[in-house]
């Protein structure tokens, strides 16, 4: 029968030193660049690992480029619908995010959005104001690369989309809206 | 109970467990991320009322994909050869983490997720060092390993509690949902242990298990150190 080996003090010290060394190498070369975009050796970038952390929090924070539509109202052509707000939202690879509007009951939200090609899973839904139970009402749930329509808001609260990008590349959405609302933005 | 019978199991039964184990491995690799992914997060933030099965599933998934809990368990059972011992140690670990998981959520004890995960990572380093006989050499006597496993179990439970509370859990049916999560954690732990024990069981038949035990525990410590550094960096960059 085999017995549990008891390493000598020398071997114990070697074990500790080598475990710290192995951990340091893995951490500095791979984990730091991939997880935190910190790359002290420069190897992370050479190996392409920093990409992982760059598409993470950075894009989540800086993914909205607000571009208020230059609404040049031509007096002759008021029939043509002009959007009130246009926003470009980037959903990082393998991530999901929400973009919301605060809208009062019985108001209307007109919208149109499309992605740069890739279809995204989305849930268009609303949450009543002041609700703490986590209740939400889903208006539309599907996987598409565009959607448009008009929502008659059933209750006062935050309304908007949850998009999920299951692909390995960031997907850009252009969302145009019109109506009486307050933009809550990315949540 | 199956842990007890595991060692006297005929080979045909073992084959079944290998299949289950391999399925678990695939599941483990594909879900990859530890903690709660965006889908689960979405469920947790939008659900209300009682949801027994979903919470059971989340608990089980958390354990099966939670490499820090699994590395610690590997360390704990590394030198346990009798089914009875494995059952006692795993039960102590379960008791420890269940206690703090339930207490933590009920009393809204919310610790910094990075710091609590750093303690969990340290528990892996400790167990690897302990398996090398280092703790005994350092202190002169071997501290009670059962108390140690229970003690670290408490921290693992706080980790679980903290992660669940990061999302505004519905207060109604909290008890049902918490119990479901806890039961799920135990189911996941059992499944993961079956897989680990099957693999270790095979390796233990060969002398290489004993010749490489020092290297194995050194690697275990390395894994713990990487996780420790990962969590501490997370804490520093988040403040």
- Is residue A43 domain-resident? yes
Question: A66-84 pLDDT, tens per residue?
Answer: 444 444 444 444 444 578 8
Instruction: List, as ranges, residues 132-161 from A with C-beta within 8 Å of B.
Output: 132-136
- Is there a single domain that holds both residue A89 and residue A153? yes
**H or E segment and range at residue B15:** helix B11-31
The SS3 call for residue B32 is coil
Average pLDDT over residues A114-134: 85
* Residues of chain A positioned with their CB less than 8 A from the CB of B39: 96, 164
- Is there a single domain that holds both residue A143 and residue A161? yes
- Is there a single domain that holds both residue A67 and residue A17? no
In angstroms, rounded to a whole number, what is the distance separating the alpha carbons of residues A110 and B161?
A: 42
The whole-angstrom distance between A167's CA and the closest CA on chain B is 14
- Is residue A1 domain-resident? no
The whole-angstrom distance between A85's CA and the closest CA on chain B is 27
- Is residue A76 domain-resident? no
- Is residue A3 domain-resident? no
> What is the predicted pLDDT for the residue at B90?
94
* Residues of chain B positioned with their CB less than 8 A from the CB of A7: 132-133, 214
- Is there a single domain that holds both residue A148 and residue A101? yes
Percent of the residues in chain B that have a pLDDT greater than 70, as a whole number: 77
Radius of gyration of chain B (CA): 18
> What is the predicted pLDDT for the residue at B69?
93
Contact present, A33 and A39 (Cβ < 8 Å):
yes
In angstroms, rounded to a whole number, what is the distance separating the alpha carbons of residues B90 and B132?
A: 20
In angstroms, rounded to a whole number, what is the distance separating the alpha carbons of residues B82 and B95?
A: 20
Q: For the ranges A85-89, B76-80, B213-217, which has the lowest average pLDDT?
A: A85-89
**H or E segment and range at residue A111:** strand A108-115
Residue A110 belongs to what domain range? 63-71+81-186
Question: B171-198 pLDDT, tens per residue?
Answer: 777 888 888 889 999 999 999 999 999 9
To 5 degrees, how large is the angle CA A99–CA A90–CA B163?
Answer: 65
In DSSP notation, B173-231 reads THHHHHHHHHHHHHHHHHHHHHHHHHHHHHHTTSTHHHHTHHHHHHHHHHHHHHHHHHH
In angstroms, rounded to a whole number, what is the distance separating the alpha carbons of residues B226 and B216?
A: 15
In angstroms, rounded to a whole number, what is the distance separating the alpha carbons of residues A187 and A160?
A: 10
In angstroms, rounded to a whole number, what is the distance separating the alpha carbons of residues A143 and A136?
A: 19
Question: A143-186 pLDDT, tens per residue?
Answer: 888 888 888 888 888 999 999 888 888 888 989 898 888 888 88
Q: What is the CATH number of the domain that holds A97?
A: 2.60.120.680
Percent of the residues in chain A that have a pLDDT greater than 70, as a whole number: 82
Contact present, B149 and B89 (Cβ < 8 Å):
yes
- Is residue A145 domain-resident? yes
Is the reported ipTM for this assembly greater than 0.90? no
B48 — pLDDT class (breaks 50, 70, 90): low
**Total count of domains within chain A:** 2
- Is residue A138 domain-resident? yes
Work out the number of other CB atoms within 10 angstroms of the CB of residue B202: 12
- The set of residues, in sequence order, having a beta carbon less than 8 Å from that of A180 and lying 6+ positions away, is A103, A104, A107, A108
- Is there a single domain that holds both residue A94 and residue A170? yes
Which of B38, B44, B135, B210 should one mutate to test binding to chain A, selecting the residue with the greatest count of A CBs within 10 A?
B38
Phi, then psi, of A84 in degrees rounded to 5: -80, -45
Q: For the ranges A80-89, A99-108, B189-198, which has the lowest average pLDDT?
A: A80-89
- Is there a single domain that holds both residue A34 and residue A95? no
Contact present, A165 and A98 (Cβ < 8 Å):
no
Comparing B166 with A121, which gets the higher pLDDT?
A121
- Is residue A4 domain-resident? no
* Residues of chain B positioned with their CB less than 8 A from the CB of A139: none
Task: Mark yes or no for CB contact B210/A2 under 8 Å.
Answer: yes
Comparing A45 with B132, which gets the higher pLDDT?
B132
Contact present, B211 and B108 (Cβ < 8 Å):
no
**H or E segment and range at residue A157:** strand A157-164
- Is there a single domain that holds both residue A159 and residue A98? yes
Nearest CA in chain A to B213: A5
């Amino acid at each position: 029968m085999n017995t549990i080996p008891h390493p000598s003090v020398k071997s114990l010290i070697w074990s500790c030193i080598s475990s710290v060394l192995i951990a340091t190498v893995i951490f500095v070369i791979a984990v730091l660049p991939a997880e935190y975009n910190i790359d002290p050796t420069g190897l992370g970038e050479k190996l392409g690992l920093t990409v992982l952390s760059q598409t993470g929090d950075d894009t989540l924070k800086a993914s909205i480029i607000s571009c208020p539509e230059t609404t040049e109202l031509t007096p002759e052509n008021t029939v043509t619908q002009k959007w009130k707000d246009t926003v470009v939202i980037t959903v990082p690879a393998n991530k999901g995010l929400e973009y919301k509007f605060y809208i009062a009951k019985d108001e209307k939200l007109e919208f149109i959005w499309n992605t740069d090609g890739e279809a995204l899973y989305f849930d268009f839904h609303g949450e009543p104001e002041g609700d703490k139970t986590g209740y939400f009402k889903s208006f539309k749930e599907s996987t598409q690369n565009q959607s448009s329509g008009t929502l008659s808001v059933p209750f006062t609260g935050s309304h908007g989309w949850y998009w999920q990008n299951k692909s390995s590349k960031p997907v850009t959405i252009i969302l145009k809206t019109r109506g009486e609302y307050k933009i809550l933005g990315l949540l | 109970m199956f842990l007890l019978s595991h060692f006297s199991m005929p080979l045909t039964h073992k084959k079944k467990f290998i299949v289950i184990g391999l399925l678990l491995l695939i599941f483990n690799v594909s879900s990859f991320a530890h903690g709660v992914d965006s889908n689960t997060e979405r469920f947790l933030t939008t659900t209300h009322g009682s949801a027994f099965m979903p919470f059971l599933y989340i608990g089980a998934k958390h354990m099966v994909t939670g490499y820090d809990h699994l590395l610690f368990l590997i360390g704990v059972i590394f030198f346990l050869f009798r089914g009875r011992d494995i059952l006692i140690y795993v039960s102590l670990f379960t008791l420890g983490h269940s206690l703090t998981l339930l207490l933590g959520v009920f009393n809204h004890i919310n610790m910094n997720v990075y710091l609590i995960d750093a303690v969990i990572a340290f528990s892996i380093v400790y167990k690897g060092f302990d398996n090398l006989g280092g703790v005994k050499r350092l202190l002169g006597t071997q501290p009670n390993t059962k108390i140690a496993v229970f003690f670290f179990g408490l921290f693992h439970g706080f980790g679980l509690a903290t992660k669940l509370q990061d999302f505004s859990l519905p207060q109604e049916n909290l008890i049902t949902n918490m119990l479901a999560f806890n039961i799920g954690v135990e189911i996941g732990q059992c499944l993961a242990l079956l897989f680990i024990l099957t693999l270790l069981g095979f390796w233990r038949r060969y002398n290489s298990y004993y010749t490489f035990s020092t290297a194995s525990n050194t690697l275990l410590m390395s894994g713990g150190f990487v996780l420790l550094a990962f969590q501490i960096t997370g804490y520093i960059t988040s403040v």
